[in-house]
Amino acid sequence: MSSSEILLVDDALFETHASRSNHPERPARLDAARVGVARAGVRVRPLPARDATRLELEAAHLPGYLDSLERLRGESAMLDPDTYVVPRSVEAAVRAAGGVAELATALVRREAKRGMALVRPPGHHAEPDRAMGFCLLNNIAVGARAALAAGAKRVAIVDFDVHHGNGTQSIFYGDAEVLFVSLHQWPFYPWTGAVTETGRGAGVGFTVNVPLGAGADDVVYREAMRRIVRPAVRDFRPEIVLMSAGFDAFVNDPLASMMVTDAGFGGIVGGLVEEAEHAGAPIALVLEGGYDLRGLEACVAASARALIDGAIAGPVLAKIDPAHRAELQTAASSAARTWRSVG
């Protein structure tokens, strides 16, 4: 097992999920991510993707929804104003979920310490009972359940896509085996992810939301990582860390209003690598959003390097505006009720 290489999941089938209209979630995103990995200059070891089994999918989704999705094989349709299927979309989604499950299982079995899944369609908006927000199946939730099935007792999911991972939150909201932490623009689509959403039943405290107003930059995200995200992950002591890696908080992304740079994303990933190392846990990045192609390429490159090198030099500390500082304080106060290192 080596920390100097990345176990990489990719598949040509992911390119077949392609809208006939000018849709932002398009195959060119995958091309940009692939170029980013190549630019990073890191050593990769391919891990063939496979189709998720019905049992694996039912660990995250209701049988009735899976049946309705199966009936869409070979069809073209709009499932909501944002989410499309074309004839091979369901096939690609099942392969994407299976690829993440295979990667998570390999990491739990200590076949590698670092992983990356370049999958499409993305997954974190997919609810147990419906598609949503470009997503058909919740890839990272299927992967987390596979990690638990492979023997992990605690799985941390950190979602830094600019949109809240509502589907992932829903799937694990009552679960104490999975820590779900989300950094996201707020208020914003999908209109979930308030700081008061912390879990239910046995899962109270195991959902940590860090909603941030428009304009948050590298310095704000770095402070969020330092004060909230990293301490919560550290206290949780995960046996595997999975990242829902959306790069649409990038400064030039057309679908959001954040100001994070590629170096900022490298800092986020590098910080989580340090926490994974501290816990003796493997770590993997699962592609979600990111719709500026040049930005996506640069952000994936920085993240791949950070997976190998750990924390990178962040921005010079600067003042955080009062609105963002208040948001961080509110989120920290909420998380500190469960995680003593947060503050």
Among all residues, which ones are annotated catalytic? 125
Tokens at 183, concatenated: 């950094």
Letter for the amino acid at 262?
D
Cα 109 from Cα 150, distance rounded (Å)? 7
Strand partners, 283: 114, 241
> For the CA atoms of the chain, what is the radius of gyration?
18
Q: Is 83 helix (H, G, I), strand (E, B) or coil?
A: coil
Are the C-beta atoms of residues 168 and 157 closer than 8 Å to each other?
yes
Tokens at 336, concatenated: 């500190």
Q: Half-sphere exposure of 229 toward its Cβ, with a 13 Å CA cutoff?
A: 32
Strand partners, 210: 183
Letter for the amino acid at 305?
R
Cα 247 from Cα 302, distance rounded (Å)? 11
